[in-house]
Structure 1
């Protein structure tokens, strides 16, 4: 008998995502195995009064869960792929990447207005510099302000009148069954998504062969390949939540096609490009090199310097 403990953040969305993974794993578990869930509070769940970029970025939502894996308190962990830092602690691996929900962002507006229809100086809430930069690049007249907390908290702040609209990941809305609340799904021409958005990452210990074998049963090779390209692009910039970086890859025949951008948080500078290659990692690295030649490295250095002042 083996009890497999699955770690998750305790937000409603995280628990829904983890249950979804557990339901699929149950179909492939060896006899005498059982699953149980353990909810873990992360630093990102506790610090809600400042933007992610000011308190450490992506790792805020995974560090405590990764430590529980390393300590053996849990056997695998379910993360939103977009929360995963570019680097992983030694001893841990990504055992599976799930099929991908919608990668897009969406606008939830209190009065049902689209991004282009919002009145001048309307208040738009987002905790993401990537979303902020792309909103302001399209609508520099808007006021983009930070909003933190889980989906329920952010939606309540919107309906209480603190914001005219908020920008959220559509995948989370889908998993919560909130599609009727969405005013507009933002296409990639309006807002390029976060690396890995819409996919789930299942993390485990590198030496746990039993778990790794089981996780392969729910791995989606196509999504794994496209997300690998996106994460290679992010990794090339040493990227996290504190930098406005976006990337989205698709498969076209045997090629990985990747669009990426780097922006200033004010939306005044946006450097973007597109590339393709058979090798996913090479695809991400090549596109990052291309954007570096266009000035992305200098721009990101400016953003880092401004953040530290």
Structure 2
């Protein structure tokens, strides 16, 4: 006898963090729609970003953030899964035709955390220590305050990176507090970092739910999970990033706060070596307008020559 079709099908990467996020979404869908969790299928999909982890190269060098979502998007477009669950900071600014981000769960802690088994803080790292990261944003922000440090390639899931620290591959690194919290590993953070100094990646800490543009049923299912304030903040940050993506490939940070109906967005772009940084801040009620305004101001401050200089880097 053929098994009944699942209530809906979730597509996710196979890392421990991705699976934790997919299970959280399954739990929320189950509660919102009164169906057993076992009736909601989770399909693990290998992505190019996952397969490139062992190479330890920066995502910028091999195609950008979309490497973590491409195969899940393709599975949705082919009808194999209905909902893509993503870490929103990994979602490309321009989505494939036929796919859109329909909802965001309430945002977790946006901060990065300093991680080390040798030093209690970034300031206390010994001179010329090795700092492990393959994020151009994190590397630039670290070099801005500790230009003496050596940046070494450092990729992998949370467990892999923690093991690399224990193995001495690097003396320190950064991980997102959101991921540590979702894996119940927050106690491993040596010290959370001030987000005004180490501005998070745009959309950091938010789980995004993607669906097919023509799939009204899935859009309605995830709509009940959407957190209004998070949606507005991520929309503003992605709008800022969309403006910047058209002009440069420099490290980008974003930080959004809210008071009543007013959003305040801070944006930052840096040179790869951290020696130069530009920041902009604006407030408003429309997230798209706000994000575009901050992005355009950053471009105005930096100037086309400076942007072209850093855009030339791979």
TM-score of Structure 1 vs Structure 2, range by shorter chain:
over 0.9
Cα deviation 1:239-263 (Å, max 9, x = unaligned): 7995301111111222110000011
**2:13 corresponds to 1:9:** yes
1:298 Cα deviation (Å)?
Answer: 3.6
- What TM-score results when the alignment is normalised by the length of structure 2? 0.94
1:7 Cα deviation (Å)?
Answer: 0.4
Per the alignment, residue 27 of structure 1 pairs with: 31
Per the alignment, residue 213 of structure 1 pairs with: 220
**2:46 corresponds to 1:63:** no
1:113 Cα deviation (Å)?
Answer: 2.0
1:297 Cα deviation (Å)?
Answer: 4.5
1:239–1:84 CA distance, 2 compared to 1 (3 A): farther
**2:146 corresponds to 1:139:** yes
- What TM-score results when the alignment is normalised by the length of structure 1? 0.95
Distance in 1 between the 2:303 and 2:107 partners? 28
Distance in 2 between the 1:220 and 1:42 partners? 27
Please list, as runs of the form range in 1=range in 2, the aligned pairs for 1:1-309 lying within 5 A after superposition.
Answer: 2-3=5-6, 4-29=8-33, 34-48=39-53, 49=55, 50-238=57-245, 243-295=250-302, 297-307=304-314
Distance in 2 between the 1:157 and 1:149 partners? 9
Cα deviation 1:123-182 (Å, max 9, x = unaligned): 111111001110100111111112011111111111101111111111011111111211
Could you list the structure 1 runs, at least 4 aligned residues long, displaced by more than 6 angstroms after superposition. Answer: none
1:112 Cα deviation (Å)?
Answer: 3.8
Is the 8 Å Cα contact of residues 263 and 299 (structure 1) preserved in structure 2? no
1:6 Cα deviation (Å)?
Answer: 0.5
Is the 8 Å Cα contact of residues 126 and 168 (structure 1) preserved in structure 2? no
Distance in 1 between the 2:92 and 2:247 partners? 6
Q: Which runs of 5+ in 2 are unaligned?
A: none
1:73 Cα deviation (Å)?
Answer: 0.6
Distance in 2 between the 1:101 and 1:240 partners? 30
Q: Which runs of 5+ in 1 are unaligned?
A: none
Distance in 2 between the 1:118 and 1:195 partners? 27
For residue 22 of structure 1, give the secondary structure of its aligned residue in structure 2: helix
Is the 8 Å Cα contact of residues 42 and 64 (structure 1) preserved in structure 2? yes
For residue 195 of structure 1, give the secondary structure of its aligned residue in structure 2: coil
1:168–1:294 CA distance, 2 compared to 1 (3 A): same
For residue 19 of structure 1, give the secondary structure of its aligned residue in structure 2: helix
